[in-house]
């Protein structure tokens, strides 16, 4: 999953980027209102962490701009402002959740996962397709024989993309957008290599290839 982090505190950014990457997110980071406004409309993010106090303005300006332009991405406001009225203002502007600083990274990650689950119409942290299950907390997949298999970060993100849209054909470009941040420079054949590795775990028939167009997860019960 690809996530946008809007934060101007460089030390906090490094901590959050590591924590979010460990949790299976590819993270793009910006530190100003102007960059956040444009990037949020250009790219397809699954969620946004939005700081309120930015060098060139208020995070609420970004949020209102996105909502006015029909960008409904789930947004969690992260801020040092803990007054109840600030929370109300953020939620009225279109935020989906609010977390005050200081905070624990584990809580932030749990809240982001919850926002994404709700946006996908799920309440369970396990994604189930046929006899397969993908555990987001442990980054493990359960195969048809009932065994659990631990995945690498990239394997988890790729399988998650496929299993949240079972039966849908996803192109390499679509998968690359969700697996990597804008600063990453993966090799052209990266997706093919990871598909081969996943097939060794979930079985060749679970992931279909439509030559020249993409891949789909087609497991049956």
3-state SS, residue 36: helix
- In this predicted model, what pLDDT tens digit does every residue of 2-13 receive, in sequence order? 999 999 999 999
Summary count for the chain: helices (H), strands (E): 8, 13
pLDDT (tens digit per residue) in 11-44: 999 999 999 998 889 999 999 999 999 999 999 9
- Each domain of the chain, given as residue ranges in start order, spans 2-120, 126-217
What three-state secondary structure class fits 47? strand
The CA distance from 183 to 173, in Å, is 15
* Domain pair 2-120 / 126-217, same fold: no
- The least confident of 60-74, 121-135, 138-152 is 121-135
The CATH code for residues 2-120 is: 3.40.50.2300
Architecture of domain 126-217: Orthogonal Bundle (1.10)
What is the bridge-based pairing of β-strands 47-51 and 2-6?
Answer: parallel
């Amino acid at each position: 999953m690809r996530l946008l982090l809007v934060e101007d505190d460089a030390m906090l950014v490094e901590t959050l980027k590591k924590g979010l990457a460990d949790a299976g997110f590819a993270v793009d980071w910006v530190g100003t209102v102007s960059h956040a406004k444009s990037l949020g409309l250009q790219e397809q993010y699954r969620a946004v962490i939005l700081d309120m106090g930015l060098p060139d303005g208020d995070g609420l300006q970004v949020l209102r701009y996105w909502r006015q332009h029909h960008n409904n991405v789930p947004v969690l406001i992260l801020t040092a402002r803990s007054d109840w009225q600030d929370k109300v203002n953020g939620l009225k502007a279109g935020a989906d959740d609010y977390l005050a600083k200081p905070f624990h990274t584990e809580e932030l990650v749990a809240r982001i996962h919850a926002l994404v689950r709700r946006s996908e119409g799920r309440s369970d942290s396990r994604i189930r397709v046929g006899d397969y299950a993908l555990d987001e907390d442990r980054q493990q997949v359960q195969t048809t024989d009932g065994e659990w298999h631990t995945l690498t970060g990239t394997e988890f993100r790729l399988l998650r993309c496929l299993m949240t849209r079972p039966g849908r054909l996803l192109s390499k470009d679509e998968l690359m957008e969700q697996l990597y941040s804008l600063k990453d420079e993966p090799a052209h054949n990266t997706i093919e290599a990871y598909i081969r590795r996943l097939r060794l775990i979930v079985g060749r028939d679970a992931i279909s290839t439509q030559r020249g167009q993409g891949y789909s997860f087609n497991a049956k019960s």
